[in-house]
């Protein structure tokens, strides 16, 4: 089936994103094109297809908790105790990935890894002699902190007129450092630093237009004019991006799930990351001004989340 009912309803990619089946709209569109999105158990391969509210939307084979089978195998090994906790600790201290496409996805990845790390180490901890400690206090002491470092090198390009050109959100180098620890028995503090190469941008300039098709006297009376000239597409880059975040949280176990209260501060140092430029041009005076558009600055928030 190539499309849904037209006219009324919500776009399929927006529906997939709203129901939490994908982490971003671009991921939702990729899933749809790959034929993994089913509407009333029939595949629909058009992201713009209109889907009525009463129609069921799901992923073929169900949603997977990890991006690959390797994650599933690792989780299984951690769950049944096949890995030495000391090995587990080293695994989570250095997590290498091949690609990282967006901040929200990475936030979810870190959250899952952090919880898996803490639960695994708290559940099974060995002393230096190799004996298993069943003492919850000993396991909790080992689980008081968790350190995760992630580096990714990725090139995301398109072939345009026989030339490879970086995509708009290509970030060649990405580095993330995450440190999570218990401040007290009930409060947890998470510190995170994010860095990536600046996004591609297209250079822009003004050049003087050579005019004059009449006599020499007429040409002298003509005013000098300028026109905008774009450089090679996405051949330049914005300054590198980095920010430091902090989050303080407390959790309560409930009969039906888990309640978390948190205070979150993004960009604690209020770094002025460049998100782009607003261009103003005066073609008569030959002046081009690039006004920096900054990303989100210091941003505090407070909230409650419930997991069932």
- Distance in angstroms (rounded) separating the CA atoms of residues 28 and 11: 11
Mark whether 47 and 143 lie in a shared domain: no
Domain ranges, residue 156 = 64-204+231-307
**Cα separation values, 24 from 103, 256, 262, Å:** 10, 28, 24
For residue 219, being part of any structural domain is answered with no
Which is more confident, 8 or 165? Answer: 165
pLDDT of residue 23: 75
Mark whether 44 and 161 lie in a shared domain: no
For residue 175, being part of any structural domain is answered with yes
pLDDT of residue 29: 85
Mark whether 187 and 302 lie in a shared domain: yes
Q: How many domains does the chain have?
A: 2
Mark whether 158 and 261 lie in a shared domain: yes
- Distance in angstroms (rounded) separating the CA atoms of residues 141 and 146: 11
pLDDT of residue 62: 60
Mark whether 10 and 101 lie in a shared domain: no
Of 24, 48, 63, the position where a domain reaches its end is 63
Strands 125-126 and 50-51: unpaired
Mark whether 128 and 250 lie in a shared domain: yes
For residue 84, being part of any structural domain is answered with yes
pLDDT of residue 118: 53
For residue 222, being part of any structural domain is answered with no
pLDDT of residue 126: 43
Tell me which of 38-42, 119-123, 303-307 is least confident: 119-123
State the average pLDDT for the chain. 75
Is 248 a residue whose pLDDT tops 90? yes
Report the SS3 class of residue 23. Answer: coil
Mark whether 20 and 155 lie in a shared domain: no
At 106-123, the pLDDT tens digits run 555 555 555 555 555 544
Which is more confident, 276 or 302? Answer: 302
> What's the pTM?
0.52
Beta strands in 98-220 (DSSP E): 125-126, 132-133, 145-153, 157-160, 163-166, 173-182, 187-196, 200-201, 204-209
CATH code of residue 7: 3.10.290.10
Mark whether 14 and 71 lie in a shared domain: no
Which of 74-78, 91-95, 160-164: highest mean pLDDT? 160-164
| CA dihedral sign of residues 40, 43, 47, 50 | negative
Which is more confident, 93 or 46? Answer: 46
Of 10, 39, 63, the position where a domain reaches its end is 63
pLDDT of residue 71: 55
Of 17, 43, 63, the position where a domain reaches its end is 63
- Distance in angstroms (rounded) separating the CA atoms of residues 268 and 190: 13
Residues shown for the chain = 308
- Distance in angstroms (rounded) separating the CA atoms of residues 207 and 229: 7
């Amino acid at each position: 089936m190539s499309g849904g009912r037209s006219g009324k309803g919500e776009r399929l990619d927006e529906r997939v994103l709203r129901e939490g089946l994908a982490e971003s709209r671009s991921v939702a569109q990729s899933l749809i094109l790959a034929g993994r999105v089913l509407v009333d158990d029939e595949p629909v391969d058009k992201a713009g297809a209109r889907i009525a509210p009463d129609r069921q939307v799901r992923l073929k084979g169900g949603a997977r908790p990890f991006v690959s089978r390797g994650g599933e195998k690792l989780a299984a090994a951690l769950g049944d105790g096949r890995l030495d906790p000391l090995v587990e600790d080293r695994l989570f201290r250095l997590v290498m990935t091949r690609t990282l496409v967006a901040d929200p996805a990475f936030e979810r990845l870190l959250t899952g890894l952090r919880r898996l790390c803490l639960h695994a180490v708290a559940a099974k901890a060995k002393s230096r002699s190799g004996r298993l400690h069943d003492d919850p206090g000993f396991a909790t002491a080992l689980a008081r902190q968790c350190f995760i470092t992630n580096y990714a090198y990725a090139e995301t390009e398109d072939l345009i007129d026989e030339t490879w050109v970086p995509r708009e959100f290509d970030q060649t180098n990405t580095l993330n450092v995450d440190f999570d620890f218990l401040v007290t028995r009930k409060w947890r503090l998470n510190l995170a630093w994010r860095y990536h190469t600046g996004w591609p941008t297209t250079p822009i300039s003004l050049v003087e237009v050579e005019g004059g098709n009449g006599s020499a006297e007429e040409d002298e009376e003509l005013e000098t004019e300028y026109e905008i000239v774009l450089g090679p597409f996405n051949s330049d880059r914005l300054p590198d991006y980095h920010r430091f975040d902090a989050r303080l949280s407390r959790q309560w176990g409930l009969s039906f799930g888990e309640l978390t209260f948190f205070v979150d501060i993004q960009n604690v140092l209020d770094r002025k990351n460049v998100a782009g430029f607003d261009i103003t041009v005066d073609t008569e005076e030959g002046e081009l001004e690039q006004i920096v558009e900054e990303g989100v600055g210091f941003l505090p928030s407070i909230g409650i989340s419930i997991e069932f």
